Structure 1
Amino acid sequence: MASAFLPPELGQNISEIIIPDVKTTLNLFGMHLRTVSGAWSYPIHAHPQYEFNYVLDGEQRIIVNSRSYTQRAGDLVLLRPGDSHSSQSGNGRPFTYFCIHFDIDDKILISLLSRLHHVLFKADSTIAHKLTPSLTRLVDISRQIHGDITMSQRMMLQSAVFELFGQLWEAFSVEANLQASASYEKVELAHQIRSRLQGLVYQQFKQDAQEDRTLGVDDIAAELGISSSHCYRVFRQVFGLSPREFLSRQMLHEAKVLLDDPRLPVSHISTILGYRDIAHFSRQFKRWHGKSPREYREGGSL
């Protein structure tokens, strides 16, 4: 099939830069700029998108995966899909914040975000300083929207978000130590491994996972036609942790989500997750979290 982009005849080029094709899908959800009273609060919830939460004025207390953070003007919070979080005024006074939920199909960027373990970036941090101009632009555009959004405003928002991602990449890539050799082919393979690992979560809940178990990684490697060592190596290079560690984090998250619902007895949660008895579930949860399910629940979500 002939190319629609024909190069000039041999010898006619003086200089040339070839830009690789760029195909990226960006979805923005629930973007809002909000000022709330000191009595305002938002209950514990989670969602399947990433979230940026940026405080413009005042103080917000945000609890993420049972850990409390104080977010002041200029501070930025990054939440990952599935993070359990709630928020309220940090000092009983009104505050203003900007929030944006997003997902994007750029696997390199998603891999970078998945390697970061930070939640709160203080206003005086290098990262917050780097991202502030793009966040300010997003806020300024949002202030101009009254009623239905225009096409021009839609395009400006998307442009500002992509600019934010560019700054985010520059700010985060060194910290995350994402190696340049992590090609798109390796990233694609790592995401295939990750998808199959997520399918093992409930299966692993039903087993007494011992320290020397492969946790199904050998089967995944065989299914993908690669060696187990290559499977481990590619996954760690892209996501910064081993498949075993990823599985443990996923399983711990599922257990915490259920334990955060006070209506569910621990015995019932044990049954939901497929354990043969509550003692078995308690041992496994303590191995992951350092506390028993009852200790976790009694400690609250603070």
Structure 2
Amino acid sequence: MNTNEILKQTKKLPVLDWNLRVYGTHKKTVGKGWKVPEEKHLAFELIYILKGIETVAMQNTLYHIRENELLLIPPNTLHKMWCDQVEENEYFCVHFDIDEPQFVADMLTYSNLYFSADDAKTKAIISIIEQWIAIFDNENIYTFKTKMEMQIILSSLCIQLFEQMEERKKAFHQNGTPSQIKYATTISEAIKKNFQQFLYANDLSLNALSIQQIIEACGLSYSYGYALFKKIYGLSPKEYLSQLQFNAAQDFLQIPEMSINEISQALGYNNISHFSRQFKKWTGLSPLNYRKKYLQQEVL
């Protein structure tokens, strides 16, 4: 039996090469008059109302979220929220993202945003969220064990959202033809591959991160490939590369030995001020303040 025949008979599981992130997880009680100004995030934001009513303005729609209801805010979506209908509102909020463009694209296209209290699908999600809420009772929430438990809960949430999304997907036409999806996937994989080689192997120049060059290397014109990518995934190739840079920046800032300047250069920024401005757009914090906040949490 030759090598090819052996490989054909070998069953393999897929290689997992992605970032699964959860951050900004908090539970809070606010009073009447509380408000959050308009903002947007690079990740999904999920809001669960424990008590009261919270109003969210998003995509020219007002959502009045009540007890045991959920709202899913997509990435890069401007929104603002406030409490003006009750004296007290208690909510749980979590931000999460996964470096899997097809999942994100399908979520943007097919997922529910508003989950009513009487829906069995909502209750299924809440049962997962309650596991996160239970973690607040732990004496030390920054241990390795707790962080792994949070990752497991996030995985369960993504699976639940995926299964619900798949049901809705069957009722709709595909966002693009099979060939369009294939081309968009090729572009996303090329962007990720070039970024990782640039970041970790140091065998590519900064030009390797040129979106135009990547798209044209995939055999497409820049304008067509750019528009196709955005049609399929709901974000531009440049925004996808920005997400990869943001994920890497968070990882590097957790390494005290790396200076901000070294991180800036590693991510492909021409100067540290450009990186600092971009990071503040991502998080609302400077890289230095983000690092201080992370290190303080690790000490607690």
The bucket for the TM-score relative to the shorter chain is: 0.5 to 0.7
Give the whole-Å Cα distance in 2 for the aligned partners of 1:17 and 1:144. 43
| Deviations 1:85-109, CA, capped at 9 Å, x for gaps | 1212252321111111122102221
| Deviations 1:240-279, CA, capped at 9 Å, x for gaps | x8xxxx88xx9xxxxxxxxxxxxxxxxxxxxxxxxxxxxx
Give the whole-Å Cα distance in 1 for the aligned partners of 2:53 and 2:126. 17
**1:73 counterpart residue number:** 67
1:105 aligns with 2:99: yes
Paired residue type of 2:81: S
TM-align CA RMSD: 4.1
| Deviations 1:66-102, CA, capped at 9 Å, x for gaps | 4211001121111112211121225232111111112
**2:154 counterpart residue number:** 161
**2:200 counterpart residue number:** none
Greater shift, 127-136 or 159-168, is seen at 127-136
What is the TM-score when the length of structure 2 is the normalising length?
0.56
Q: Give structure 2 stretches of 5+ with no counterpart.
A: 193-212, 240-300
| Deviations 1:216-260, CA, capped at 9 Å, x for gaps | xxx9976631489x9699759844x8xxxx88xx9xxxxxxxxxx
C-alpha displacement of 1:167: 0.7
Structure 1 residues 187 and 226, CA, compared in 2 at 3 Å: closer, same or farther? closer
**1:122 counterpart residue number:** 116
**2:164 counterpart residue number:** 171
**2:134 counterpart residue number:** 140
Select the residue among 172, 186, 191 that pairs with 1:189: 186
Give the whole-Å Cα distance in 2 for the aligned partners of 1:167 and 1:90. 32
Paired residue type of 1:164: L
Select the residue among 219, 222, 230 that pairs with 1:225: 219
C-alpha displacement of 1:49: 1.8
Greater shift, 179-188 or 91-100, is seen at 179-188
Q: The residue matched to 2:75 in structure 1 has which SS?
A: coil
Select the residue among 49, 56, 63 that pairs with 2:50: 56
Please say if residues 32 and 88 of structure 2, whose CA atoms lie closer than 8 Å, have aligned partners that are also in contact.
yes
C-alpha displacement of 1:19: 2.3
Q: The residue matched to 1:83 in structure 2 has which SS?
A: coil
| Deviations 1:12-44, CA, capped at 9 Å, x for gaps | xxxx86422223311222110111122322222
Give the whole-Å Cα distance in 1 for the aligned partners of 2:44 and 2:27. 17
Paired residue type of 2:165: F
Q: The residue matched to 1:129 in structure 2 has which SS?
A: helix
| Deviations 1:171-211, CA, capped at 9 Å, x for gaps | 1122134869699955523647999xxxxxxxxxxxxxxxx
**1:82 counterpart residue number:** 76
| Deviations 1:35-62, CA, capped at 9 Å, x for gaps | 1122322222222221111111211111
Q: The residue matched to 2:21 in structure 1 has which SS?
A: strand
Identity percentage over the alignment? 21
Greater shift, 23-32 or 150-159, is seen at 23-32
Q: Give structure 1 stretches of 5+ with no counterpart.
A: 11-15, 196-218, 251-302
Give the whole-Å Cα distance in 2 for the aligned partners of 1:124 and 1:138. 21
Give the whole-Å Cα distance in 2 for the aligned partners of 1:187 and 1:125. 34
Paired residue type of 1:116: Y
Paired residue type of 1:110: V
C-alpha displacement of 1:168: 0.7
Kindly indicate which of the two structures has a greater share of residues assigned to helix. 2
Structure 1 residues 124 and 194, CA, compared in 2 at 3 Å: closer, same or farther? farther
